[in-house]
Amino acid sequence: MKINDLTWKIIGAAIEVHKILGPGLLESAYEECLCRELALRGIRFKRQFPLPLEYKGIKIEKAYQLDLLVENTVVVEIKSVEALHPIFEAQTLTYMKLGNWKAGLLFNFKVEVLKNGGINRLVLGLGENDEVESD
């Protein structure tokens, strides 16, 4: 499967969650429900995925923690905030750089309609035909 196709499937799952729940819940509720929706669709993910960091010869095992890593390929960060500030995009891009992942999705569920300002798709060197990593 192409990474672009996978990101669209994840976006579809997030839209379904938002259509049912609407805005105003905690991030943890949206994360739980998005995990359920991904599972129902047969999409594999790792939740609260630890991301280590190396600094001057030491390794910090749990320096960061991703909300979701989908199919070992796409970083997903979930927010429920009034507005997505640039720091959230920078956070997601940092995760992508550290893990050497090419695609990321940043969702803000605190909007009226998710596809109107609640979805940010981020890429780092992603080619049109790049495929999902196989296990």
> Taking the domains of the chain in order of start, what are their residue ranges?
3-123
Name the average pLDDT for the chain.
92
Mean pLDDT of 5-10: 96
SS3 27: helix
Question: How far apart, in whole angstroms, are the C-alpha atoms of residue 133 and residue 69?
Answer: 12
Q: Which residue has the tokens 């991703």?
A: 66
Confirm if 117 and 127 have CB atoms less than 8 A apart. Answer: no
Residue 68's φ and ψ, nearest 5 degrees, are -145, 145
Please tell me whether residue 84 adopts helix, strand or coil conformation.
Answer: coil
Task: Decide which of 79 and 117 is more confident.
Answer: 79
